Chains A and B, each alone.
Chain A
């Protein structure tokens, strides 16, 4: 089954404690991205990757890091989380040259 898998699905942490949200896709997609979804603000892109070792900033990259060492994986790293990073996070993937995104189930993060 084609899917994008994120972990963890739910996480409560404290300010400053580094965390990683993993994302894996099994469709051999070149493109992967991370979004955050906040009430009234819609989905906003954090980072994206066009292929292995190729990443770039989206609209709200501050406080986040990513890496793309393998085609299937695209982890999101919060080095020092702050309460304003409390949000619902989605990983997405797509084939090259298309805007049709496949989304993961989401990771709800709370930073106290």
Chain B
């Protein structure tokens, strides 16, 4: 069964304290892995797509990496405005469209000034 597990559920960091969020997945062939950011009371906002093991994407203080079993979202020197819930999602290879995107439960990240 296709599955996405994110850890930790919640993470509190001091401003400037770098860390990583984990996304483990089980899927019968991976077409794409996605990271989204969700602010309270808002819809998820797309961040990155990763397609193959070894691929990396960066945006400001965020860097996403992918292996054959998991993805990491590394946050370097975070600021309070990086506080949000980060969602990981996978698209099984057998689905060429967004008809089947499986989401994890998210990691709630809080950055203290």
Pick from B43, B91, B104: contact of A42, CB under 8 Å: B104
B residues contacting the other copy or chain, number (CB 8 A): 24
Interface members, chain A 57-112 (any B CB < 8 Å): 90, 92, 94, 96-106
When C-beta atoms are compared, the residue in chain A nearest to B100 turns out to be A45
Q: Is A34 an interface residue (CB 8 A)?
A: no
For the complex, give the distance between the alpha carbons of A31 and B100 in Å.
Answer: 11
Interface size class of A (residues with CB under 8 A): 20 to 34
Interface contact B106-A42, CB-CB below 8 Å: yes
Q: Given A42-B103, A43-B103, A99–B49 Cβ distance below 8 Å?
A: yes
Contacts of A99 in B (CB 8 A): 31-32, 34, 49, 89, 91, 97-98, 101
Contacts of A97 in B (CB 8 A): 96-97
When C-beta atoms are compared, the residue in chain A nearest to B103 turns out to be A43
For the complex, give the distance between the alpha carbons of A101 and B76 in Å.
Answer: 26
CB distance from B66 to the nearest CB of A (A): 14
Interface members, chain B 66-113 (any A CB < 8 Å): 87, 89, 91, 96-101, 103-106
Q: Given A105-B42, A106-B41, A106-B43, A100–B97 Cβ distance below 8 Å?
A: no
Interface contact B99-A43, CB-CB below 8 Å: no
Residues of chain B whose beta carbon lies under 8 Å from any beta carbon of chain A: 31-32, 34, 36, 41-46, 49, 87, 89, 91, 96-101, 103-106
If A42-B103, A43-B103, A106-B41 are given as contacts, then 4 extra A-B residue pairs at C-beta distance below 8 Å, sorted by A number, are A92-B43, A98-B97, A102-B46, A105-B41
Residues of chain A whose beta carbon lies under 8 Å from any beta carbon of chain B: 4, 31, 33, 35, 40-45, 48, 50, 56, 90, 92, 94, 96-106
